[in-house]
């Protein structure tokens, strides 16, 4: 059954902040030290952190117009990793009921009762405090403040409010994932400028089609968990058309960096080629849809995987170009 936004809101299960039976289940089986460490690391979602770091470091090159100061870069990445790990661990705590329902997330530590929920909450909060203090004391307090704001927005606004209530959840919730761009710039300069704002826009427009194509693949999971992702509440045609529109916006925004940041011709050349391929893949979804393909036959994961490569290569181009300015 397809849910409307209103129906999805009304049917959302309330998630309490503590469930004694979950704590008991989590402590039921003794585990080795290595397994416990692995479970806590998994709470931080390392693969998502990798993507955030991919957007942080190149911006530091751009801000420094070359190699950024070594320890500034190291401290920004280390404490930025802790901040992202904090947000992800707290997200796992808030979403533990959803994760246990969905096939894609069923193996996460809380869903498998490998970590008591209360411990996950404390772990996430400790990482958040350490990351904020670490950035403030070793980098600067602007970077620390931006990092804390991203963490709070992801947990309190996206995870606890938007995700379960609106099909636009990832559009606005994705703002948290754009913040590493600003943090990287602030870490080097102690201020903000239009160049990181442009790259912030790139990540903002990139996020919805990237996430929606993944959600198309796992549509039944989101529906079962009563999460109103766009592919659950809208037709495939609408999802594809909106994905194409956001992809065009992503590419257009990426080309704005050339005049705004004064890059060499290297960056716009690479951005244009990468953008052309990304647009080709987005329109290929519509071509397959018009040919009568639906569901898995639409091959939405092809666009999802390419969009990962697109963002990584685009930001790599930012870093390389900065060495020639």
Residues composing the chain: 325
**What DSSP string describes 87-108?**
HHHHHHHHTHHHHHH-GGGTTS
pLDDT of residue 15: 41
Residues 272 and 223: their CA atoms lie apart, in Å, by 37
Q: Which residue has the higher pLDDT, 33 or 68?
A: 68
Residues 252 and 257: their CA atoms lie apart, in Å, by 10
CATH code of residue 278: 1.10.600
**Residue 63 confidence class, pLDDT cut points 50, 70, 90:** very high
What confidence tens digit (pLDDT) does each residue in 305-323 have?
999 999 999 999 999 999 9
Say yes or no to pLDDT of 9 above 60: no
**Number of domains within the chain:** 1
Distances (CA, A) of 1 to 102, 159, 210, 220, 226: 16, 23, 24, 10, 10
Determine the structural domain holding residue 237 and report its residue range: 5-11+19-322
pLDDT of residue 46: 92
Measure the CA angle with vertex 106, ends 156 and 39; round to 5°: 75
Work out the number of other CB atoms within 10 angstroms of the CB of residue 16. 9
What confidence tens digit (pLDDT) does each residue in 88-146 have?
999 999 999 999 999 889 899 999 999 999 999 999 999 999 999 999 999 999 999 99
What residues contact residue 236 under an 8 Å CB cut-off, 6+ apart? 216, 289, 294, 298
What residues contact residue 128 under an 8 Å CB cut-off, 6+ apart? 82, 83, 86, 87, 90, 148, 151
């Amino acid at each position: 059954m397809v849910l409307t936004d209103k129906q999805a809101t009304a049917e959302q299960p309330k998630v309490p902040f503590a469930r004694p039976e979950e704590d008991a289940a989590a402590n039921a089986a003794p585990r080795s030290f290595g397994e416990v460490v692995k479970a806590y690391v998994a709470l931080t979602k390392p693969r998502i952190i990798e993507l955030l770091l991919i957007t942080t470091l190149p911006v530091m090159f751009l801000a420094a117009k070359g190699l950024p100061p070594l320890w500034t870069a190291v401290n920004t990445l280390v404490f930025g990793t802790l901040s992202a790990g904090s947000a992800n661990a707290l997200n796992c705590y808030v979403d533990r009921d959803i994760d246990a329902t969905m096939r894609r997330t069923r193996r996460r530590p809380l869903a498998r009762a490998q970590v008591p929920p209360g411990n996950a909450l404390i772990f996430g909060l400790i990482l958040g405090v350490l990351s904020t203090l670490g950035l403030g004391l070793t980098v600067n307090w602007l970077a620390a403040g931006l990092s804390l704001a991203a963490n709070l927005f992801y947990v309190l606004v996206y995870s606890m409010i938007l995700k379960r209530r609106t099909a636009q959840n990832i559009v606005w919730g994705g703002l948290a994932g754009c913040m590493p761009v600003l943090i990287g710039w602030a870490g080097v300069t102690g201020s903000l400028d239009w160049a990181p704002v442009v790259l912030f826009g790139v990540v903002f427009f990139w996020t919805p089609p990237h996430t929606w194509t993944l959600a198309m693949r796992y549509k039944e999971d989101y529906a079962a968990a009563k999460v109103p992702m766009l592919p659950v509440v809208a037709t495939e045609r609408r999802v594809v058309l909106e994905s194409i529109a956001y992809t065009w916006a992503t590419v257009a925004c990426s080309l704005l960096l050339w005049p705004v940041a004064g890059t060499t011709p290297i960056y716009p050349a690479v951005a244009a080629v990468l953008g052309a391929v990304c647009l080709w893949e987005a329109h290929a979804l519509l071509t397959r849809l018009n040919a009568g393909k639906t569901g898995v036959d639409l091959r939405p994961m092809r666009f999802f995987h390419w969009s990962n490569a697109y963002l990584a290569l685009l930001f790599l181009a930012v870093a390389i170009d900065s060495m020639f300015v």
